[in-house]
Amino acid sequence: MAEEKDTEQNEEQEDTGGKKKKLILFGVIGLVLVATVILVLWLFGGTSSNEATPRETPEQASNDFENASAPEIGNALYVGMPRPFVFIVPGDSRERTVQIKAQLMVRGEENEELAKKHIPLIEGTLHEVFSSSTADRLKTAEGKGQLRELALTEVRNALQEVTGKPVVEQVLFTSLVMQ
């Protein structure tokens, strides 16, 4: 009988000892995972909020307009044109009808509001640029890219005259159909 009690006590001690070992093992694994996550965030994390970014004066910004690739304020937001652009372009053997759906990429809510406010100006400018193209240019990817760049330049120039800043970062074609 005494032997049975001793065996039961030894089994209980082994069970609690095994549980302690498992608990310690899980604790160590957990610490290693937490340390790894912290290390990854520290190495690949963004810039610190302590780093100062130099600001341009309005004079510098207006002088650099021709060299500026885009306004760099805020998150990228997209302003959709309310209607697709439908126009006729001359083709190799006949005229073609083209439909382009476009969106504007802007940075920051202020630029988004400015773009929405000046949609009629933007639509007029884009229609003028699009209808000056030819079917041959619109058939190639290079021609479409050139048309997007020309549209961006013209829209930015028009908005610069009205608002004092370029507002739009990119003109994106979401659909282009030619018949």
Closest C-alpha to 71, from 171, 170, 169:
169
Sorted by sequence, the CB contacts under 8 Å of residue 9 that are 6+ apart come out as none
Is residue 151 pLDDT above 50, yes or no?
Answer: yes
Q: In this structure, are residues 110 and 77 in contact, taking their beta carbons and an 8 Å threshold?
A: no
* Residue 79 pLDDT level (bands cut at 50, 70, 90): very high
Sorted by sequence, the CB contacts under 8 Å of residue 128 that are 6+ apart come out as 154
Closest C-alpha to 70, from 156, 161, 164:
156
**The pTM is what?**
0.57
Residue 2 lies in a domain: yes
Is residue 152 pLDDT above 80, yes or no?
Answer: yes
Considering its fold, how many domains does the chain have in total? 2
100 shares its domain with 22: no
Residue 144 lies in a domain: yes
Residue 63 lies in a domain: no
Residue 65 lies in a domain: no
Q: What is the mean pLDDT of residues 58-82?
A: 62
115 shares its domain with 149: yes
Q: What is the mean pLDDT of residues 161-167?
A: 91
Residue with tokens 């302003």: 79
Q: Residue 103: helix, strand or coil by DSSP?
A: strand
135 shares its domain with 95: yes
Higher pLDDT, 10 or 119: 119
Residue 135 lies in a domain: yes
CATH (domain of 150)? 3.30.479.30
125 shares its domain with 89: yes
DSSP state of 55: -
13 shares its domain with 84: no
Predicted pLDDT of residue 121: 94
75 shares its domain with 42: no
Higher pLDDT, 134 or 27: 134
Residue 53 lies in a domain: no
Predicted pLDDT of residue 46: 47
Domain containing residue 43 = 1-47
139 shares its domain with 85: yes
